[in-house]
Amino acid sequence: MLLCAGIAAAFAVPIYWMVSTSFRQPAEVFSLPIQWLPAHLGFGNYSSAWSQYDFTRFTINSMVVSGCVTAAQVLLASLAGFGLAKYRFFGRDVLLLAILATLMLPVEVIMVPLFTTVQGLGWINSYQGLIVPMIADAFGVFLMRQFMLRIPDDLIHAARLDGASELRIFFQIAMPLSWPAAATLAIFVWRETWDDFLWPFLVTSDLPHRTLPLGIALMQQNFTTDYGRVMALATLATIPPALVFFLFQRAFVRGIALTGLRG
Amino acid sequence: MRPIPGRGQRHELWGLVLVLPVLALLLAFRFWPMLQVLRLSLYRYDLLSPPRFIGLDNYTRLVHDPLFYQSLTATGYYVAGTCLPLWVLSLVLALVLDSMPFGKGFFRAAVFLPAIVPSVVLPILWRFLYHPYGLVNSLLNSVGLPPVSWLSDARTVIPSFIVTSEWRFIPLFMVIYLAGLQSIPDEYHEAARVDGASAVQRFFTITLPLLRPTIGVVVVTSVILTAKSLVLALLMTNGAPGGASRLLSLFVYQNAFIFLKLGYASAASVVLLAVLAIFTMLQLRFFRPLE
């Protein structure tokens, strides 16, 4: 039991140090011997860090981008997953493998041509540049397809015999039966987009289109030694994903277990 | 599903229609860039003047570039140094957690925190912890050890990355192992216990063999995750000191966007792509998508 407490502490201490530093005055940050508790509990670092740049705007940008990517990806991945799970058309299995092969193409690998492609579209420093290239992802398609394989064929046949259109079958039969998978995917995509640093970093260079992670990096770069304020921002940025984790722990862990199947 | 005879295959084509939006986006933002990365690797391109075809020159230069080798070595060191302990430690932690009589939820939440921290916060936080007067050195000081210049010494910078990555990834892979452990039926362990097998015997004869698919997933995923890692190196050290922590993806980034050698950077990307391709194929074997 003591061992477990020790292990838990090792993982928790850096987080604690981040939060506690966010309350410290510059003189307290590096005091020796270690002062585990900050001298005061004031939010001065928070308010002054927040107003250093337009963090309200960065946050709104992050919300817009992650909201749009999540909604679009869940919808399109569900459509594609349904198509791949419940229809037989020529080349379907090859298509699935081709889609899955894009898992080997994360932004890190194709950043140069992805940047030039988006630049060619005139989408640098734009919301469409931040959003559109991130919508399609093989993982979501695969997740939805696996789940939708379990929808009984008879249900679909019956609806078709009753004259339901294919889109109606999707929205009124497939989606209602697949919401646990869709919810897991939504949480997961939201987290990943909210978290993403690399793509917004490549595709934006002006302040108005920056997302929250870029704002934090900017703050850290220009106010390197201002640890209290940087840690205040780091703490703030950790709160939304932490809230989502505690609220949707089961779906979140399931998402992580599933994303373990992903690079 | 079998098409209903006589009703034609027409509705089956709807499947293709449903896939089209995703397919179009993947073609534009994944496949097309992939072809471009291969093409650009044969060109000299600086974003300002039009690309010029130079054949395999970028690759020959890459082979003779000591900085590229330094980067490959650093990446190999980082990937192996992170993954090998990770596979064992996250399994050990999952076993500990799985066998806890109470407090599982609390323990899991406490341990899981590092996996939630935004990826931009991770390098910023750890740079602060590794600061010459930071928490790590203060802790060393309190037990009477001399300070270490973690991120500015070529010998300690990659080990520092590794410690940070263990902190980040152990909770993640622990959760994956836990899912695997919980899929092993209790009856197996009961039966073995009745037959007088010790805990160690049960681990090696039941748990480990049945965990094989999970282990496969963990191994492949962790290699992919660390091999492509960019943000950590970019924000923690930006390759310093003297390129000792310039991981391959950072090499690509710097050549492309700092030195504007997009062709050369693409050639280096192809190397990274080849590594990821191999491991993604392995990953797809664990998915077994067509079963």
User: Where are the domains positioned within chain A?
Assistant: 1-42, 53-259
Domain count across chain B: 1
Residue among B121, B131, B252 minimizing CB distance to A234 = B121
- Among A4, A109, A202, select the one facing B272 at the smallest CB separation: A109
Give residue-wise pLDDT tens across range B233-261: 999 999 989 999 999 999 999 999 999 99
Maximum distance among all alpha carbons in chain A?
A: 77
Domain assignment present for B164:
yes
The interface residues of chain A toward chain B in range 59-88, judged by CB-CB distance below 8 A, are 76-77, 79-80, 82-84, 86-88
Contact residues, chain A, for B121 at CB < 8 Å: 18, 216, 234, 237-238
The per-residue pLDDT for range B163-211, each reduced to its tens digit, is 999 999 999 899 889 888 888 888 888 888 888 888 888 888 888 988 8
How much is the pLDDT for B7? 46
What is the distance in angstroms between the Cα of A63 and the nearest Cα belonging to chain B? 15
| Closest approach of B7 to chain A, Cα-based (Å) | 11
Residues of chain A contacting residue B179, judged by C-beta atoms under 8 Å apart: 257, 260
Is B103 inside a domain boundary?
A: yes
Residues B147, B151, B152, B154: is their CA dihedral positive or negative?
positive
CA end-to-end span of chain B, whole Å?
A: 14
> Cα dist. B22→A83, A117, A137, A189 in Å?
11, 18, 8, 15
Say which CATH number the domain at B203 has: 1.10.3720.10
Which of A18-32, A244-258, B80-94, B116-130 has the weakest average pLDDT? Answer: A244-258
Contact assignment for A117 to B47 by CB distance below 8 Å:
no
Distance, in Å, from the CA atom of B204 to the CA atom of B190, rounded to the nearest integer, reads 15
Positive or negative: CA dihedral B270, A104, B170, B126: positive
| Average pLDDT, integer, range B110-116 | 86
> Would an 8 Å CB–CB cutoff place A249 in contact with chain B?
yes
Q: Is residue B239 part of a domain?
A: yes
The answer to whether A32 contacts B125, with C-beta atoms less than 8 Å apart, is no
* ipTM exceeding cut-off 0.95 for this assembly: no
**Closest partner CB to B142 (pick from A34, A77, A198):** A34
- C-alpha B119/C-alpha A191 separation (Å) is 11
- The partner residues of B53 in beta bridges, in order of sequence, read B43
Cβ atoms of residues B281 and A139 within 8 Å = no
In a domain, B12, yes or no: no
* CB–CB contact B110 A256 (8 Å): no
Q: Cβ separation of A80 and B284 shorter than 8 Å?
A: no
Distance, in Å, from the CA atom of A23 to the CA atom of A43, rounded to the nearest integer, reads 6
Within an 8 Å CB–CB cutoff, is residue A28 touching chain B?
A: no
Any domain includes B100? yes
Contact A217/B29, CB-based, under 8 Å?
no
For residue B46, the SS3 value is coil
Q: What are the tokens at A9?
A: 């502490």
CATH superfamily of A53-259: MetI-like (1.10.3720.10)
pLDDT tens readout for residues B22-32: 999 999 999 99
B26 contacts A136? CB cut-off 8 A: yes
Provide the β-strand partners of residue B52.
Answer: B44
Residue A256, SS3? Answer: helix
**Does B187 fall in a domain?**
yes
Mapped onto helix, strand or coil, the DSSP state of residue B44 is strand
Nearest to B118 among A4, A82, A237 (CB): A237
Q: Going by C-beta distance under 8 Å and a sequence separation of 6 or more, which residues neighbour residue B200? A: none
Give the model's pLDDT for residue A263: 34
A40 touching chain B per CB within 8 A = no
Give the tokens for residue B103. 């407090």
A199-202 own/partner pairs: CB under 8 Å, 24+ apart: A199/A107, A199/A130, A199/A133, A199/A134, A200/A65, A200/A130, A202/A107, A202/A111, A202/A114, A202/A115, A202/B257
- Nearest residue on chain A to B230, alpha-carbon basis: A108
pLDDT less than 50: residues of chain A? 260, 262-263
Chain B residues within 8 A of A216 when measuring between CB atoms: 118, 120-121, 124
Q: Where are the alpha helices (DSSP H) in chain B?
A: 13-26, 32-40, 57-63, 66-98, 104-116, 121-129, 135-142, 157-182, 186-194, 199-202, 208-210, 212-227, 231-236, 248-253, 262-287
Of the candidates B162, B13, B20, B136, the one whose C-alpha atom is nearest the C-alpha of residue B77 is: B162
Q: Which domain holds residue B62?
A: 43-287
A64-86: pLDDT as tens digits: 999 999 999 999 999 999 999 99
Sign for the pseudo-dihedral over CA of B234, B235, B236, B239 = positive
Confidence at residue B47, expressed as pLDDT on a 0 to 100 scale: 86
Shortest CA gap B202–chain A (Å): 22
- Position B288 scores a pLDDT of 60
In a mutational test of the B interface, the residue from A11, A73, A227, A244 whose CB has the highest number of chain B CBs within 10 Å is A11
- Cβ-contact B99, B182 below 8 angstroms: no
Taking CB atoms and an 8 Å cutoff, what residues of chain A touch B142? Answer: 33-34
Task: Check residue B289 and give its pLDDT.
Answer: 55
Residues in A closer than 8 angstroms to B23, CB to CB, are: 80, 95, 99
Instruction: Tell me the shortest Cα–Cα distance from B277 to chain A, in angstroms.
Output: 5
Report the residue of B30, B136, B141 to disrupt the A interface, i.e. the one with the largest count of A CBs within 10 Å: B30
| B-chain residues near A157 (CB < 8 A) | 4
B60-79: pLDDT as tens digits: 999 999 999 999 999 999 99
From the list B14, B28, B138, the residue facing A32 with the nearest CB is B138
Give the DSSP letter string of B224-280: HHHHT--HHHHHHTTT-STTTT--HHHHHHIIIIIS--HHHHHHHHHHHHHHHHHHH
How near does any CA of chain B get to the CA of A182, in Å? 16
The reported pLDDT for the residue numbered A34 is: 80
pLDDT value for B106: 78
CB B177 within 8 A of CB B94: yes
The CA-CA-CA angle for residues A98, B119, A127, to 5°, reads 65
Q: Are the Cβ atoms of A113 and B175 closer than 8 angstroms?
A: no
Q: Hey, are the CB atoms on B231 and A198 less than 8 Å from each other?
A: yes
Whole-number Å distance between alpha carbons of A145 and B133: 52
Whether residue B113 lies inside any domain: the answer is: yes
Asked if the structure places residue B7 within a domain, the reply is: no
Phi-psi region of B144 (alpha: psi -120 to 50; beta: other; left: phi over 0): left
> Does residue B142 sit in helix, strand or coil?
helix
C-alpha pair distances (Å), A98 with each of A103, B215, B272, B289: 10, 25, 19, 12
